[in-house]
Amino acid sequence: MLRKAKIEDADQIVRIKINNWQENYRGLIDQEYLDKMDVFQEIEARKEFILNQTNNEELLVYEDGINEILGFVAYKRSCEHEGYDSELQAIYVDEKAKGKGVGKQMIQFVLKSLREDGKHRMILWCLKDNIKAKTFYEKNGGIPTEEMEMEFGNSKVLLTGYLFELEKIS
């Protein structure tokens, strides 16, 4: 079940995010950066985000029905990148729930919600070398359109921007 994140979800959201980063980004970004991810700082930042959500942005969690969060998704109904009117900022699935449709349900919900809000062009960014994520985005209608460089710790990495043309995605 997908629902709006609550303050008490912050711990589980951060656990999923940090586990995903440390597992899936190993070898792609600076290891020291991954090792030093600060759980407490992340939890506080997530709580702040949850408390200050606007109508323009949402943080949703996918719950299994017994209060365990299996994934989360964050998106905005606006975008600073020219040529886009919305942005998927984060989508992460707990390792034990991968391959069970959680990510697909979350991204499809976001695409449908944005389309219903009159949005047309959503972008999301992922590490260029993150093949699993890129495959997932392409299976769900994403088209790689551009790249940008970002710094994580002591490493500069390339990100691939994926365009989702919302009217063309069912």
**109-120 burial code (b ≥16 CB/10 A, e <16):** ebbebbbeeebe
How many domains would you assign to the chain?
1
In a domain, 125, yes or no: no
Kindly state the tokens that stand for 91.
């989508």
Residue 143 lies in a domain: no
Closest CA to 159 of 85, 70, 87, 77: 87
CA distance 59 to 138: 23
Q: Answer whether 162's CB lies under 8 Å from 104's CB.
A: no
Does any domain span residue 157? no
Residue 76 lies in a domain: yes
Average pLDDT over residues 5-28: 94
**Helix segments in 1-152, DSSP class H:** 10-24, 31-35, 39-51, 102-116, 131-139
Question: What is the pTM assigned to this prediction?
Answer: 0.93
Structure confidence by residue, pLDDT tens digits, 98-114: 999 999 999 999 999 99
In a domain, 170, yes or no: no
Q: Is 135 contained in some domain? A: no
Q: What is the span of the domain harbouring residue 98?
A: 2-120
Q: Let me know if residue 166 belongs to a domain.
A: no
- Judge whether residue 122 has pLDDT over 90: yes
Q: Which CATH number goes with the domain that contains 33?
A: 3.40.630.30
> Is a pLDDT exceeding 90 seen at residue 52?
no
